[in-house]
Amino acid sequence: MSDLAPPRTTGTRTRLTALRHAAPALLAYAAVRLLGVAVLAMWAGATGGSATYVLSQRWDSNWYTGIAENGYGFTRYLDEGRVLSDLAFFPLFPGLERLVAEISPLSVPHAGLVISAIASLAAAWGIFAVGDLLYGRRVGVVIAVLWRVLPTAIVQSMAYAESLFTALAAWGSMLRSAAGGCGQVCSQRWPG
């Protein structure tokens, strides 16, 4: 082995190094997320509700739970003539909800919260990685946190698929980049 050859590292060691490198972004993201959930919990408590209920059993969360528990095929016909169908929801998230609920003591709605929490951290890490690759660590940290403070960011804490899709998109860009090409996100370098 020559002095110019890179040292051999294990996959675990490489992942730990990458995690340490991304730690500021992940910690800042988690802190902002916890603050948002705490504010939601205080609001829910003040109105006599439950933050867990609001995050796991409202709006689209109900559709995902229905698909996870009963499969596809539910249609709701509204009085004004609109038709709502569960076919509008991609199957990956409810499939994971069902899997986690089957192998753990969690209910389907609570499994959705766990999946969303893990996926949001994976997404924040992926967003950081794209920013780090293109413009450096500081930009990676900032854009990971900015993703959390978007006005619609509360869905990252709900049993929704948005965090999962974001994680897949961000890491898909990184995998494409690592394979020698560069994903659509990575192929653009804007002036400035």
Instruction: Extract long-range pairs of 183-186: CB within 8 Å, 24+ residues apart.
Output: 185/130, 186/130, 186/133, 186/134
Counting residues of the chain whose pLDDT is more than 70, the rounded percentage is: 84
At residue 187 the predicted structure's pLDDT band, cuts being 50, 70 and 90, is low
16: phi then psi, degrees, rounded to nearest 5 = -65, -40
- Residue 142, SS3 per DSSP: helix
Residue indicated by tokens 């933050």: 51
At residue 184 the predicted structure's pLDDT band, cuts being 50, 70 and 90, is very low
How many domains is the chain partitioned into structurally? 1
Q: Establish if 63 belongs to a structural domain.
A: yes
- The answer to whether 25 touches 128, Cβ cutoff 8 Å, is yes
Q: Establish if 1 belongs to a structural domain.
A: no
Full residue range of the structural domain in which residue 34 is found: 20-175
Q: Establish if 186 belongs to a structural domain.
A: no
Q: Establish if 180 belongs to a structural domain.
A: no
At residue 75 the predicted structure's pLDDT band, cuts being 50, 70 and 90, is confident
pLDDT digits (tens, 9 = 90+) for 4-59: 544 555 566 687 888 899 999 999 999 998 998 888 888 888 888 887 877 777 78
In this predicted structure, what is the pLDDT of residue 13?
63
Q: Establish if 111 belongs to a structural domain.
A: yes
Range 177-184 average pLDDT: 53
> What are the structure tokens assigned to 50, written together?
């439950």
76 pairs with which residues across the strands? 84
Q: Establish if 184 belongs to a structural domain.
A: no
Q: Establish if 4 belongs to a structural domain.
A: no
Q: Establish if 43 belongs to a structural domain.
A: yes
Position 191 pLDDT exceeds 60: no
At residue 62 the predicted structure's pLDDT band, cuts being 50, 70 and 90, is confident
Give start and end residues of each alpha helix (H) in the chain. Answer: 11-46, 51-56, 60-70, 92-103, 108-135, 137-148, 162-178
Q: Does the pTM of the predicted model rise above 0.75?
A: yes
In degrees, rounded to 5, the angle at the alpha carbon of residue 164 between the alpha carbons of residues 162 and 170 is 100
